[in-house]
Structure 1
C-alpha cells in the first residue's frame, strides 16, 4: 500500500493537484494513510467521513432523492459524494467510497463485500465502479482503500 500511495502522491504533485476524500465504509482510512506521509499537505486537501445518509447530504450535498432511489451503497451516490467533495474543498480530484463491509448489513442485491466507488476531477470527469471483495470487515475495507487509490492513479493518468 505504501508504494501505491507514493505513486498517488507523486502523480498529484506532478500535476500540482490536491486530493480530497469522501469516505463511508472506510471510515477515513484513505485520509489517514495520506496524512501518514510527511509532506502530504502539499497534495492532500481534506477528508470527509460521511457514514450516515444525513452526513452525505449535509457535508457533500448528496441529494436525498438519490439516496432514496439508489441507496447509500450505489454508484449514483458515490458519484454525488465525489462531486460534492470537490465542490466543498479546494481539491482538483476526489475519491469516494460507500459499501457493506460486514459482517452484517448485506442483502441479496447488496451483499457483504459490495463496495461502490466514485472519482471526480476538476475537468468534470466522473468515474464510478462497483467491486465485490472477500474476507472479513477489515479485509473488505483494506481492499476498498487499495482499489480507491488505484482509481485515483487512473484519474491522474487520464
Structure 2
C-alpha cells in the first residue's frame, strides 16, 4: 500500500494568546468609550441645570430692577450677605442700598449716581452648586 504524504498544519489561524490580547484591547477600548460617553451625558444635564439656575437668577434681578422698593415681592431677600450662601430651593438675594458710583462722562466733571448693589444666588444640583449674579440698579431720581 501506498502511504499518503502528511499535511502541514495550518498556520493561518490565531493562537490563544493572540485572541486573549485582542479581547483585552477591545474591552479597554469599549470601557473607555462608555466612560467618556457617560461623562459627557452627565455634563450635558449638569449644564442644563446650571443654565436654568442662571436664568432664574437673571429673572430675580430683572424683577428687582422694576420692583426694588416694593416690600411685597417674595424673592427670599436676606439681610446678611453671609446668608446668601445658605441653601434655599428658591435661591437668595441681598440688596446693599445707598451705593454711590462716580461715572466718567468725558470732559465734564464726574457724575455721581446712587443705587443698589444686588447679589443673587441660585442653587442647583440639590444645593451642591450655585450661580451668583451681581448687578447695580440705578435709584430712580424723584427730582423733576
TM-score (norm 2): 0.31
Kindly name which structure, 1 or 2, has the bigger radius of gyration based on alpha carbons. Answer: 2
Between Structure 1 and Structure 2, which shows a larger proportion of helix residues? 1
Higher relative contact order (CA 8 A, sep 6+): 1
Between Structure 1 and Structure 2, which shows a larger proportion of strand residues? 2
TM-score (norm 1): 0.29
